[in-house]
Amino acid sequence: MTSVPAITLNNAVQIPQLGFGTFQIPPDDTREATLAALETGYRHIDTAQMYGNEKEVGQAVLESGLDRADVFVTSKLNNDAHGHDDALRAFERTMEELGLDHLDLFLIHWPLPGRGDFVETWKALEEIYRSGRTKAIGVSNFQPHHLRRLLESSEVVPAVNQIEVHPYLTQDDVRAFGAEHEIATEAWSPIAQGKVLDDPTINRIADRVGRTPAQVTLRWHIQRGDIVFPKSVTRKRVEENFALFDFDLSEGDIGEISALNRDERTGFDPDRFNG
């Protein structure tokens, strides 16, 4: 079975660079889809309180027959749980839903500056981290100015920042800030909800290397050093998205794909979104 490269986080925890995303997978389909991913070889599963499918993710992990230590599980704080005490209670609910003895990574899902104080929320995550119930903590959808405020007011540097990244939104400034502060970048919406799959540049490269446009795009993420987690409920697509480690893109390919940037989002702008 293919071995997925690991990224070493700033606290020495190892995270598989390729994971399986469960955003928008209905709970009724999540257990089966996650089991299919684990059978294919994925060892990194990404969920969130907002997705409503933590319970089914946990069931799949437990039913997979894999050692718990071999599966990296991430969840994220719901937007209605900002604030110290609310965040602590929300984490307890996540653990109850998952049915696991520990979490590998817990994230603040959105900064929501107009709703509450994400620094106060982060201090709750620091407590959870120190308790040992999660191996790492991080953030999602944070811009550099959010991260600067967090770093100025906190003791634990986020292990990751999970942001929207794809060829039409390369996020070079956010990724560079993360690299400067040893915050790993995770890419959500890695193929821009399918928008990049018809791109002529990506298709030309795909034809040359004998791969699909999705595989080329995901390989672009991998070679740029980001953590990426495509999602699908189709077994064939799940397997296709995993087949990324027996080919390489040239530096020229990487540059051409990166040059497609339009600063075009498929999701919310973190500076405008307040849940």
Q: Residue 203 CB: number of other CB atoms within 10 A? A: 15
Reply yes or no on whether 51 is catalytic.
yes
- In angstroms, the CA 85 to CA 96 distance is 17
Start-to-end Cα distance in the chain = 41
Element (H, E) at 229: none
* DSSP tally for the chain: helices H, then strands E: 10, 10
Amino acid symbol at 214? A
121/87 Cα distance (integer angstroms): 6
Instruction: Output the DSSP codes for 42-54.
Output: --EEE--GGGT-H
Helix axes 235-242, 213-224, angle to 10 degrees: 40
**Residue 10 CA to its chain's centroid (Å):** 16
Q: How many angstroms separate the CA atoms of 10 and 136, rounded?
A: 9
Token readout for 118 is 């994400």
Q: What's the one-letter identity of residue 245?
A: F
Count the helix, strand and coil residues of the chain and give each as a percent rounded to the nearest 5.
45, 15, 40
Q: Which of 42, 51, 129, 168 is catalytic?
A: 51
Q: Pick the closest to residue 229 from 190, 175, 275 (CA basis).
A: 190
Write out the catalytic residue numbers. 51
